[in-house]
Amino acid sequence: MISKVEICGVDTSKLPVLTNEEKKELFEKIKNGDSKAREKFIQGNLRLVLSVIQRFGGRGENVDDLFQVGCVGLIKAIDNFDTTLNVQFSTYAVPMIIGEIRRYLRDNNMVRVSRSVRDLAYKVIQYREKSIKDTRKRT
């Protein structure tokens, strides 16, 4: 039996894996405007997106939506990655993908809470914990 998982029409069992040498070569071509190299690089890093979206499972979100948003984060990471910093692409891309997914989850929440209200709630929680701690010290 072949294990096939399809997300957004992509057969995840057939996604390519790029070597570090291939990534370097493709990035040089991408920086020179080669769209085929860009497409190949994206395809070669879709497994990275899959590994990140697993962290967000169990939230009731559509996996296809998370995958698409993760792909947006991957593309942003490709556009902004600086090869001169001598850092692995995945080290840079994972936080970008996570950030894009978190932004999506935050913006598509049923209840929108402003930042000022969240900050106030955080201060209240801190004050409450400090108050409980002070009360325990006195007894």
- Domain limits of the chain? 6-108, 111-139
Give the Cα-Cα-Cα angle 29, 31, 35 (nearest 5 degrees): 60
Q: What is the pLDDT of residues 32-51, one digit of tens each?
A: 998 999 999 998 999 899 88
The yes-or-no verdict on residue 2 having pLDDT over 80 is no
Model pLDDT, residue 13: 67
Query: 60 or 101: which carries more pLDDT confidence?
Result: 101
The yes-or-no verdict on residue 11 having pLDDT over 80 is no
Quick one: CA dihedral 84, 25, 21, 37, positive or negative?
Answer: positive
Q: Percent of the chain, pLDDT > 90?
A: 36
Quick one: CA dihedral 83, 86, 91, 96, positive or negative?
Answer: negative
Amino acid, single-letter form, for residue 40:
K
Q: Mean pLDDT across the stretch 7-25?
A: 76
**pTM, 2 dp:** 0.70
CATH number for 6-108 (one of 3.40.50.10420, 1.20.1440.230, 1.10.1330.10, 1.20.120.1810): it is 1.20.120.1810
Model pLDDT, residue 20: 84
Model pLDDT, residue 38: 92
Q: Percent of the chain, pLDDT > 70?
A: 90
Amino acid, single-letter form, for residue 27:
F
Model pLDDT, residue 1: 35
Q: Mean pLDDT across the stretch 65-86?
A: 91
- pLDDT grade, residue 3 (50/70/90)? very low
